[in-house]
Amino acid sequence: MIHVAAAGDLHVGPEEAAGAYRERLAGLADQADVFLVAGDLTRHGTVEEGRVAAAELRDLGLPVIAVLGNHDYHSDAQEEITGLLRDAGVTVLEGDGIVLECGGKRLGIAGGKGFGGGFQGRSASDFGEPEMKAFAEHTRDFAGRLGAALLRLDADVRVCLTHYAPAEDTLEGESPEIYPFLGSYLIGEAIDAADASLAIHGHAHKGTEKGLTQGGVHVRNVALPVIQHAYALYCLDTVLAAIPAHFAR
């Protein structure tokens, strides 16, 4: 059995708040094999906030795998933030993947920030102005890279980690008008095609924890305002994924 801890939308801010989230992670390594962080580690994507985020996640006693979110891009310092996180021992994914040994099983994780676009019947298309084409193409390109990364994973269990949502179910509670800015069905199609066991995302603060892709893959929204704990913990095996969650502090 593989135990996956996950959280998103940490939104760490001023230096005076440094260490507050880390305190809530005490004992994490005793409960989980890996910690997945689903983006928006910072509030405004500044280098200073990136340093705080890196310190929160350094030396937790287990592998930490993260993706960035839209907030982490806001100040155009995403490369610097990525470097700070990697220097702290955090693996940052963007259209690629990693395989970990967990209790004799191979856990494969692929992911990246993702992007919006909407869901079937209510989605952006690559028709019209160059700006609209670029918007739609950005998600299509990411979904292609994500799907390829998932399929390359030589693993017993595949997990997808994004910031944007791959399914509508976990957006319930948000205004339907903003669904196109919260995720895309193309991400869900990539997950389904790779026969993943679990998809983790954040971003939708008013959303719902549990959902499914169109192909029936378990989806979990782990934004802190949704789970209302330091992290959610999911138990995986080589057949089933994300059966009930439980939470810590």
Q: What is the pLDDT of residues 25-82, one digit of tens each?
A: 999 999 999 999 999 999 999 999 999 999 999 999 999 999 999 999 999 999 999 9
Domain hosting residue 185, numbered range: 2-248
How far the first Cα of the chain sits from its last, in Å, is 23
Question: What count of Cα atoms within 13 Å lies in the side-chain half-sphere of residue 66?
Answer: 32
- For 222-231, write each residue's pLDDT tens digit: 999 999 999 9
The reported pLDDT for the residue numbered 240 is 43
**CATH number of 185's domain:** 3.60.21.10
Res. 247: pLDDT tops 60: no
- For 206-221, write each residue's pLDDT tens digit: 999 999 999 999 999 9
- Give me the DSSP letters along 68-111: --TGGGTTS-HHHHHHHHHHTT-EE-SSEEEEEEETTEEEEEEE
pLDDT band at 132 (very low <50, low <70, confident <90, very high): confident
Number of domains into which the chain is organized = 1
